[in-house]
Amino acid sequence: MKILGLTGGIASGKTTVSTYLKEMGYPIIDADKVSRKVVEPHTEGLKEISHFFGNDILQSNGSLNRKKLGEIVFENKDKRELLNKILSKKIRTEIINQIEYYKKQGADVLILDIPLLFEGGYDKMCDFTMVIYIPKELQIERLIQRDGLTRDKALKRISAQLDSAERNSKADIVIDNSRSIEDTHNQVIEWLERNNLMLEK
């Protein structure tokens, strides 16, 4: 089984590419979904987070208020690192379990959709890595439109991640997502074909 790591900066369009790959029939492990799973009500993950960050980050039904937690951690590097420390081991364990599941299922190609692919060392689990990229100004613009953030908050969220030049330099392929969706899809397909990663029809 070949593993393709898919990543990109915030608002780069990584989810669009991930959705496209899913529609083509590729099995996908989505780290955002995994990170939500490990903080569901009554999980160890949520207990630990509320212990360190207080019950303010919980909604009235006991679930995590992700927006509130996001505001706290994006403003404070130490708190962001603490959150990553609490969650990273739990997320990694769940991702490894899911990789084993797909291996047993006989999958030919598996996509790991992980925002912090390089920062978390997940690239070491991959045979190939693909970065979805857009220029910084377009990234800021999309983030402001998508999440209703101020320019200053958008910049803070972007700077909380790996620098895009550094991320791009680590990738096997960089997909430029600044043009049309069709153009992005064509780049993805061309690269998959070149590396014999297209699924059998």
CA 138 to chain centre: 19
Partners of 136 in beta bridges: none
Distance CA 33, CA 137 (A): 28
15 in a known ligand binding site: yes
154 in a known ligand binding site: no
Going by their DSSP bridges, the two strands 2-8 and 109-113 should be labelled as parallel
129 in a known ligand binding site: no
178 in a known ligand binding site: no
Note the residue count of the chain. 201
Distance CA 114, CA 8 (A): 8
7 in a known ligand binding site: no
Distance CA 158, CA 142 (A): 12
Question: Residues 66-74: contacts with CB within 8 Å, 24+ apart?
Answer: 74/153, 74/156, 74/157, 74/160
13 in a known ligand binding site: yes
* SS3 at position 32: helix
User: Which residues sit in the known binding site for ATP?
Assistant: 11-16
User: Which residues sit in the known binding site?
Assistant: 11-16
